[in-house]
A and B are shown apart, each in its own frame.
Chain A
């Protein structure tokens, strides 16, 4: 039973320094209109210690700086504030984020106007520019948060790997429904709690626990193949719910890091969660479709092939856990 542990741990320690588990560290740009032609700018970039990500806001050339940028490192971010003036109140102009192309992160921009309207948009490495609209619609903001949710889950290899591991443990359609539902309910609970500010989890500890939740599933899949049983095998939905609570805090990082204003949180939370669910269900649907196809095509897998998923899940969980532990203890 324990034969696989040394291999998994050794692999983990060897590749841990190169491991990069899912870390959502978006940047955030906020433009608050203060007069017909003036804006207060808030620019928040991810940082570690006193090192910030090399992202820089490039406003239209016609902008006149009213107050020079003042920056401070706070809470894992570098926050800058300054004021600008633009004759057309930025309408129809393009804002660029320099340096974004060479990163994997996103930048969310929110532009609040004096008339109460808000434009929400997203800069991406593939498209580091946003055109400022005149009168943005609310559905546009909803669409942006939905896209952030989809991107968060589909770009989050650790979350997907956990779902993959769960699917290998599930036996029967009803158990599958219960397991996926339990995971969804659990992560929705903690996502809401964390986003609304009722509770928060220390990021480093959370990352370790999420990695360990993946590591936990590897041996359980092996157990299942050996005909053994455990609580996880009998009731996978219990484990899905328990670890789903952890993953929900992880999902919340995608929103709380943005530092959204209270008024925007309900819409953002709803659409972000829907986006996460859409991404998750798409992933599950593809996997179930593949499983059905393999059955139809009468694939007869060798025993070692059937164990590959368990070792992939366990090994990646081991090295992410190792990497996150190293990060937690400052290595």
Chain B
């Protein structure tokens, strides 16, 4: 367990400092900008799998870790999104790093590594800040309204709360296999994305 904490977790935090935004297109729900924003994290695999991956890791730390993750991730996402929406247009994609990070997150969950709560909170804060900033920046770049950003932030909070609650319940009921399967899917998705991106790079060169 010690080597996992010393290697994997700082790795996750550092790696997520470079988390990119991939395919940040706003979806039209035909229900107005709030709902357009609210659906965005649900249809963006990178956002969805990141929140799920972090929730799985939080589950191994129990209710306290779940609470910490929910608060740090949501608050940071909110700050990042509104700050970026106010000041910058960011609409970049770095899919290679996203794929690598999902792989790392998935593998860590697969091995049931339990990070210290403070580290999980810090990781949630950094990831939330960056992904929120990317969401907010792309919303601005696509002329989204501020209600769209409210929708994104609300959706992230609801999603994180539901997933954190669900994963903690599963862990409490000793249904850990479900969490590890979820983590393996995240790792597999990351691996597929990584292979795809590397193949693209190789073809280009």
- Chain A residues whose CB sits within 8 angstroms of the CB of B161 once the complex forms: 290, 293-294, 297
Contact B31 A155 (CB under 8 A): yes
A147 to B32, CA, bound (A): 13
> Shortest distance in angstroms between B145's beta carbon and chain A's nearest beta carbon?
11
Query: Counting CB contacts under 8 A, is A175 at the interface?
Result: no
Residues 143-159 of chain A: 1 if any B CB is under 8 Å from the residue's CB, otherwise 0?
Answer: 00001001100110000
Query: Counting CB contacts under 8 A, is A305 at the interface?
Result: no
> Shortest distance in angstroms between A20's beta carbon and chain B's nearest beta carbon?
13
Prevailing SS type, chain A contact patch: helix
A299 to B67, CA, bound (A): 7
> Shortest distance in angstroms between B142's beta carbon and chain A's nearest beta carbon?
12
A127 to B166, CA, bound (A): 37
Which single member of B70, B162, B172 contacts A289 (CB below 8 Å)?
B162
Chain B: number of interface residues, binned into ranges: 10 to 19
Which single member of B30, B158, B168 contacts A297 (CB below 8 Å)?
B168
Query: Counting CB contacts under 8 A, is B86 at the interface?
Result: no
Query: Counting CB contacts under 8 A, is B93 at the interface?
Result: no
Which single member of A104, A124, A286, A297 contacts B63 (CB below 8 Å)?
A297
Contact B63 A127 (CB under 8 A): no
Which single member of B31, B158, B168 contacts A151 (CB below 8 Å)?
B31
Which single member of B30, B31, B67 contacts A298 (CB below 8 Å)?
B67
Query: Counting CB contacts under 8 A, is A126 at the interface?
Result: yes
Query: Using a CB-CB cutoff of 8 Å, which residues 2-48 of chain B contact chain A?
Result: 28, 30-32, 35
Query: Counting CB contacts under 8 A, is A231 at the interface?
Result: no
- Chain B residues whose CB sits within 8 angstroms of the CB of A296 once the complex forms: 63, 66, 165, 168-169, 172
Given that A297-B66, A297-B67, A298-B63 are contacting pairs, would A290 and B162 also be in contact in the complex, using a CB cutoff of 8 Å?
yes
Contact A292 B165 (CB under 8 A): yes
Query: Using a CB-CB cutoff of 8 Å, which residues 162-199 of chain B contact chain A?
Result: 162, 164-166, 168-169, 172
Contact B166 A293 (CB under 8 A): yes
- Chain A residues whose CB sits within 8 angstroms of the CB of B169 once the complex forms: 296
Given that A154-B35, A299-B67 are contacting pairs, would A293 and B30 also be in contact in the complex, using a CB cutoff of 8 Å?
no
- Chain B residues whose CB sits within 8 angstroms of the CB of A286 once the complex forms: 158
A157 to B35, CA, bound (A): 13
- Chain B residues whose CB sits within 8 angstroms of the CB of A104 once the complex forms: 32
Which single member of A124, A126, A150, A293 contacts B165 (CB below 8 Å)?
A293
- Chain A residues whose CB sits within 8 angstroms of the CB of B172 once the complex forms: 296
Given that A127-B28, A154-B31 are contacting pairs, would A290 and B158 also be in contact in the complex, using a CB cutoff of 8 Å?
yes
A74 to B166, CA, bound (A): 54
> Shortest distance in angstroms between A152's beta carbon and chain B's nearest beta carbon?
10
A154 to B172, CA, bound (A): 35
Residues 99-111 of chain B: 1 if any A CB is under 8 Å from the residue's CB, otherwise 0?
Answer: 0000000000000
> Shortest distance in angstroms between B183's beta carbon and chain A's nearest beta carbon?
19
A292 to B161, CA, bound (A): 9
Given that A289-B162, A292-B165 are contacting pairs, would A297 and B70 also be in contact in the complex, using a CB cutoff of 8 Å?
yes
Query: Using a CB-CB cutoff of 8 Å, which residues 228-286 of chain A contact chain B?
Result: 286
> Shortest distance in angstroms between A278's beta carbon and chain B's nearest beta carbon?
12
Which single member of A126, A292, A295 contacts B30 (CB below 8 Å)?
A126
Interface residues, chain A, CB within 8 Å of chain B? Answer: 104, 124, 126-127, 147, 150-151, 154-155, 286, 289-290, 292-299
Given contacts A289-B165, A296-B165, 6 further A-B contacts (CB under 8 A): A151-B31, A155-B32, A290-B161, A293-B165, A296-B169, A297-B165
Report 17 cross-chain contacts, Cβ distance below 8 Å, ordered by A residue. Answer: A147-B30, A151-B30, A154-B35, A155-B31, A155-B32, A286-B158, A289-B162, A290-B158, A290-B162, A293-B166, A294-B165, A296-B63, A296-B66, A296-B168, A296-B169, A297-B67, A297-B168
